[in-house]
């Protein structure tokens, strides 16, 4: 469970996005993943891989997150999280990891546009649409947290 939570925190992916991530979409050497489902800005986005989670990424199977060689399904992951939270006396949901990502990026003073790109949020400013951010910059940004 800790591995899953850390990958969620250091990528900003929604849990369903990460559970559906195929290893063919994980580029360890280039330090990015391609994924996302929910919004136009979030679909098939390029998300940098933080150096802190590189050791947690196992690309030997079909899916990035597997249990006993099979894709970890959402319902089972949710049950595991609930049990884990109960054992710790805590009350958190998977979505809280996205809040953590956003908070850590803000604390690291990563520019708002870069935070939006990592999290897959749409741009609210026309200027943002004309600004292009290199993957290398996003990798530097994610390493700040």
CA separation for the pair 120, 40 (Å, rounded): 8
Q: What is the residue range of 109's domain?
A: 2-142
* Burial grade of 17 (CB within 10 A; 0-12, 13-18, 19 or more): buried
Q: What is the 3-state secondary structure (H, E, C) of 27-47?
A: ECCCCEEEECCCCCCCCCEEE
Nearest to 63 by CA among 110, 24, 23: 23
Indicate the number of domains in the chain. 1
pLDDT in tens, the chain (145 residues): 889 999 999 999 999 999 999 999 999 999 999 998 876 656 788 999 999 999 999 999 999 999 999 999 999 999 999 999 999 999 988 889 988 999 999 999 999 888 888 888 776 554 455 455 777 878 888 898 8
pTM for this prediction: 0.84
CATH, residue 112: 1.10.443.10
C-alpha separations of 37 from 8, 58, 81, 120, 139 in Å: 15, 22, 21, 9, 21
Q: Please report which helix (H) or strand (E) contains residue 70, including its range.
A: strand 70-71
């Amino acid at each position: 469970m800790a591995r899953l939570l850390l990958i969620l925190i250091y990528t900003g992916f929604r849990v369903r996005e990460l559970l559906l991530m195929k290893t063919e979409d994980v580029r360890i050497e280039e330090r990015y993943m391609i994924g996302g489902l929910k919004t136009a800005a979030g679909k098939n986005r390029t998300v940098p891989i933080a150096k802190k989670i590189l050791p947690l990424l196992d690309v030997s199977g079909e899916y990035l997150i597997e249990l006993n060689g099979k894709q970890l399904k959402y319902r089972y992951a949710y049950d595991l999280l609930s049990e884990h939270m109960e054992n710790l006396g805590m009350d958190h949901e998977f979505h809280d990891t996205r809040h953590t990502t956003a908070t850590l990026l803000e604390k690291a003073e990563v520019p708002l546009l870069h935070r939006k790109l990592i999290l897959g949020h749409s741009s609210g400013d026309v200027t943002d649409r004309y600004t292009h951010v290199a993957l290398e910059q996003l990798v530097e940004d994610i390493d700040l947290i």
